[in-house]
A and B are shown apart, each in its own frame.
Chain A
């Protein structure tokens, strides 16, 4: 820089300093420092606390006793499943007056109504079906 540096502006025109030039206000700086250190304490406490990661939690859980208990529970559940009686097959006739699935699927078709509900569906319909030999 070969150019001459301009003189500073008159001091009274400049904003008030906040730093070294105001050494007299030590109490203010001390108060600021105390406020800061108090606000920082929770973050410092977090830094002091040991870090907890997901794998450390997993490692703590995966201990022999815990794994043995988990294996035992799994084996008991499997044995219970194997020894349960199989569910009954759906061959029994539905109780009288119950609409069967075929009626629902038939969506009102006369033949489906007849097959599903028989004479209860409609006497006239029953007659037609009998005449056609559908039952």
Chain B
């Protein structure tokens, strides 16, 4: 396969090449294979680091750094094992390292942007921003795996199976993480939710 057709590679039935095959091409330094893998996993990686970091600039940097670190260690990747959990581990560790240093930087938090036109009333908009801030703080207190599963399921709209594949766990565990996260958040935000907050 030449340098520029890894992304176009399809078998006779039009299926995309498997991750392991692309990873092996990346081990040989093929740019097109790397681009194809990055295209597949850019959004999930952003979602993972976005679940662990609040600052938008940190999320951008950590997501890019995840792929560069993966590239630095690609020769240690065992192609007989799934690629996604390997990349997820790098993303999680990169975000954790960033989080340690995050207190030094203050910029626009992820999700703090209120979309213009959603709610024209300034008072309500301020209230929404405060609620979002409370939710973000409550999310920070969840264990990392719960937070990632919750974010990807409830915010990014990934399926439990997609999340499970990425995290290297089974779908039932993902649902359990989401269950515990929702319950913890509802307990924390009970007064905001009003009667029946535990439902």
Rounded to whole Å, the gap between the CB of B113 and the closest CB of chain A is 6
Query: B186 to A17, Cβ gap below 8 A?
Result: no
Complex CA distance for A8 and B199, rounded to whole angstroms: 9
Question: Can you sample 18 A-B contacts with CB below 8 Å?
Answer: A1-B176, A5-B178, A6-B183, A7-B182, A8-B182, A9-B185, A17-B47, A18-B59, A20-B43, A21-B156, A33-B35, A36-B64, A37-B31, A39-B64, A40-B71, A43-B68, A44-B26, A47-B71
* Given A33-B39, A39-B64, A44-B71, also A6-B179 (CB < 8 A): yes
| Chain A residues, Cβ within 8 Å of B42 | 29, 32-33, 36
Chain B facing A: main interface SS: helix
| Chain A residues, Cβ within 8 Å of B179 | 1, 3, 5-6
Chain A window 6-41, contacts with chain B (Cβ cutoff 8 Å), 1 for yes, 0 for no = 111100111111111100000001001101110111
Interface size for A (C-beta < 8 A) is: 34
| B135 partner, pick from A14, A20, A36, beta carbons under 8 A | A14
* Given A18-B50, A29-B43, A36-B38, also A43-B71 (CB < 8 A): yes
Rounded to whole Å, the gap between the CB of A46 and the closest CB of chain B is 8
CB contact list, A31-89 vs B, under 8 A: 32-33, 35-37, 39-41, 43-49
CB contact list, B31-54 vs A, under 8 A: 31, 34-35, 38-39, 42-44, 46-47, 50
Query: A47 to B186, Cβ gap below 8 A?
Result: no
Query: B110 to A33, Cβ gap below 8 A?
Result: no
Residue of A with least CB distance to B176 = A1
Query: A37 to B155, Cβ gap below 8 A?
Result: no
| Chain A residues, Cβ within 8 Å of B113 | 16
Chain A facing B: main interface SS: helix
State the total of A-B contacts with C-beta under 8 angstroms: 131
Query: A15 to B110, Cβ gap below 8 A?
Result: yes
| Chain A residues, Cβ within 8 Å of B46 | 18-19, 32
Interface size for B (C-beta < 8 A) is: 58
Query: B68 to A40, Cβ gap below 8 A?
Result: yes
CB contact list, B154-177 vs A, under 8 A: 154-158, 172, 175-176
* Given A5-B179, A39-B68, A41-B31, also A47-B74 (CB < 8 A): yes
| B118 partner, pick from A5, A12, A20, beta carbons under 8 A | A12
